[in-house]
Amino acid sequence: MTQHISMSDLNRQLSKITKKDLILDVRGRDEYSTGHVPGSKNIPHPEISQHQSELQGYDQIFVYCQAGRRSQIATATLESLGFKNLICISADGMGAWISSGYPVEK
């Protein structure tokens, strides 16, 4: 069962996230380039199934987008591919991250 958290939950967990975990930004490349969660990797949600092999081997994958919808779509796609280590940021996204004043990487 996929866990659902908020961006503030993700921010609280940042110090515990290791190299075995992945923060996955599923927004478009142009959105990602304007600012993203530090250390996150960008794979736009329509391309997610093409990256299945490189997503294998992570302990946890935190999936976020701008407002929550695309992260839900990407999470459902990954679930259908057999991933069970997903944490979906589904109620908010990068907009909430920025408005909360959390660190942004460009």
Paired strand residues for 64: 25
Q: How confident is the model at residue 47 (pLDDT cuts 50, 70, 90)?
A: very high
Q: How confident is the model at residue 1 (pLDDT cuts 50, 70, 90)?
A: confident
Q: How confident is the model at residue 10 (pLDDT cuts 50, 70, 90)?
A: very high
The hierarchical CATH code for the domain 3-99 is: 3.40.250.10
Q: How confident is the model at residue 34 (pLDDT cuts 50, 70, 90)?
A: very high
- Per-domain residue ranges of the chain: 3-99
Return the exposure string of 18-27: e unless at least 16 CB atoms fall within 10 Å of the residue's CB, then b: eeebbbbbbb
Length of the chain (residues): 106
Predicted structure pTM score: 0.97
Q: Which two tokens stand for residue 18?
A: 């290791």
Phi, psi angle pair for 82, to nearest 5°: 100, 5
pLDDT in tens, 57-104: 999 999 999 999 999 999 999 999 999 999 999 999 999 999 999 999
User: Across all residues in the chain, what is the average pLDDT?
Assistant: 97
